[in-house]
Homo-oligomer: A and B are copies of this chain.
Amino acid sequence: MNLNGVFAPVPTPFDSHDRLDSAGLKAAFAMWIKGPLTGFVVLGSNGEAALMDEDESDRAIAIARDVVPRGRPLVAGTGRESTQATIAATKRAASLGADAVLVRTPGFFKAQMTHDVFVRHYTAVADASPVPILLYNFTAVTGVNLLPAAVSRLATHPNIIGMKESGGDVAQIADLVSGTPNEFQVLAGSSSTFYAALAVGASGGILALANIVPDACVRLLDLFRRGRHDEARDLQRQIVPLSKLLGQAYGIAGLKAALKLIGCDVGVPRPPLVPLPDEGVAALKDAIEAFQEVAA
């Protein structure tokens, strides 16, 4: 399965009673699939998967599968803290039509998350999964780091086809690329360093920013692939201010607010998360407009 390209990790709409908004999710996908993105990730960190129960998770995948045409990869996040729950979620996602799964590292028992524990966990999941799996390292939220040595080892498993590395540590991305076979797909998760990640060998990205400016993200990858480095670097610089606001600064609240600003209302985050305050919305609006001007 070829996952080289740009994916949006889509947010999950909730209604005013804090329930999964199925109609809203369907409507949002109808818009997203019109764009140039390679594919979509549901139930990633940006999908607020950590705040949803198993039943809601299944419904979100089913809705996405209904709308996303075969041929454009649909990836579902299925990482859980226990190995057995991860396997169960993975099997359900596969049966609901996910083309691949994105499996975040467990991270609750940080001190025990060693190289060996990661290798054992992912091997068990990959052995049991009906669909290919992507490793997923997001140290800023998990507090653990899936290091290149463990990834090298896991990359030999036939059912582990790639990885999302959400950190901005470009040296670590370079090491992940060097330490894995050519067909192992390293996808960047940080749009602030997307160009640099490509420069050291990443094959694409799963970028929150791709929800907001999908064309720009796809164009950046395209420029890079054609060897038009100066233009790619310029475009990278243009997206950085918006990228930073959508990162840890504003989080999910920022992503949902930005989507609303561009005409796609996916509601507000689930509590304990809170909606973006007005000054945040104003800053996002400015950043989006500033980007549209320079990019025009």
Instruction: Name A's B-contacting residues (CB within 8 A).
Output: 18, 45, 50-54, 81-85, 106, 108-113, 116-118, 120-121, 124, 140-141, 143, 168-171, 174-175, 178, 190, 192-193, 195-196, 199-201, 227, 229, 233, 236-237, 240, 248-249, 251-253, 270-274
Q: With A84-B270, A227-B229 known to touch, is A109 a contact of B141 (CB < 8 Å)?
A: yes
Q: Which one, B83, B110, B121, B170, contacts A196 given CB within 8 A?
A: B170
Closest to A112 in B: B251
Contact A106 B272 (CB under 8 A): yes
Q: Determine the distance from Cα of A212 to Cα of B14 in the docked complex, in whole angstroms.
A: 46
Counting from the closest, the 4 A-B pairs by CB-CB distance are A121-B272, A51-B82, A199-B199, A170-B170
Closest to A125 in B: B272
Please give the count of copies of this chain that the complex contains. Answer: 4
Contact A196 B192 (CB under 8 A): no
State the Cβ distance, A281 to closest chain B Cβ, in Å. Answer: 16
Q: With A50-B108, A109-B50, A168-B169 known to touch, is A174 a contact of B196 (CB < 8 Å)?
A: yes
Contact A84 B120 (CB under 8 A): no
Closest to A138 in B: B108
Contact B140 A200 (CB under 8 A): no
Q: Determine the distance from Cα of A32 to Cα of B253 in the docked complex, in whole angstroms.
A: 46
Contact A50 B81 (CB under 8 A): yes
Q: Determine the distance from Cα of A190 to Cα of B112 in the docked complex, in whole angstroms.
A: 18
Report chain B residues within 8 Å CB of A84: 18, 270-271
State the Cβ distance, A137 to closest chain B Cβ, in Å. Answer: 15
